[in-house]
Amino acid sequence: MANLQDVLESTLPGLGYELVDLELAQNGLVRLFIDKPGGITVEDCVTVSNHFTRLFMVENIPYERLEVSSPGLDRALRKPADFERFAGQQVKVKLRLPLPDKRKRFIGTLIGFENEAVIVDVEGERLTLPLAQIDKVRLEPQF
């Protein structure tokens, strides 16, 4: 049996998509969040769903249900490339443990990524947050 993450990461780029996130639920649900330049349409989700339904059968990857979705406006950022791509955008950050000033959650402008750390400007204060200390980073939609 093939490794699900490896199958997704090796197959999606060839289809023109990026794997943003993968969720596995106890009830056999596999949930994929995909993206591409210009955004995701319903047709993109159908294309990816049909492709992986067949591929999972061939690769003998067990699942009960497959859901394919866009990452949404509040897309999660996980990889160094995400932090570079979305530099200049507003982000919401949640840390695993609070900073010395007791803050654990904040919103700021993403500056970038260097030396395994996410750099965020929070109200004029430049914070360098090691990736290992971050629980979640999501885009903060601006309307």
Q: Does residue 102 surpass a pLDDT of 90?
A: no
Rounded to whole angstroms, the Cα distance separating 53 from 128 reads 41
E strands along 11-133, which residues?
Answer: 18-24, 29-35, 65-69, 90-95, 105-114, 117-122, 125-130
1 has a pLDDT exceeding 80: no
Domains for the chain: give ranges and CATH numbers: 4-69 (3.30.300.70), 80-139 (2.30.30.100)
Tens-digit pLDDT profile for residues 61-85: 888 999 999 998 899 998 898 999 9
pLDDT band for 2, please (50, 70, 90 cuts). Answer: low
Q: Quick one: average pLDDT of 108-121? A: 95
Q: Cβ–Cβ contacts within 10 Å for residue 22, how many?
A: 14
Separation CA 75–CA 137 (nearest Å): 9
Q: What pTM, to 2 d.p., does this model score?
A: 0.75
Tell me what the pLDDT averaged over the chain comes to: 91
Q: Computed from CA positions of residues 108, 92, 98, 114, in that sequence, does the dihedral angle turn out positive or negative?
A: negative
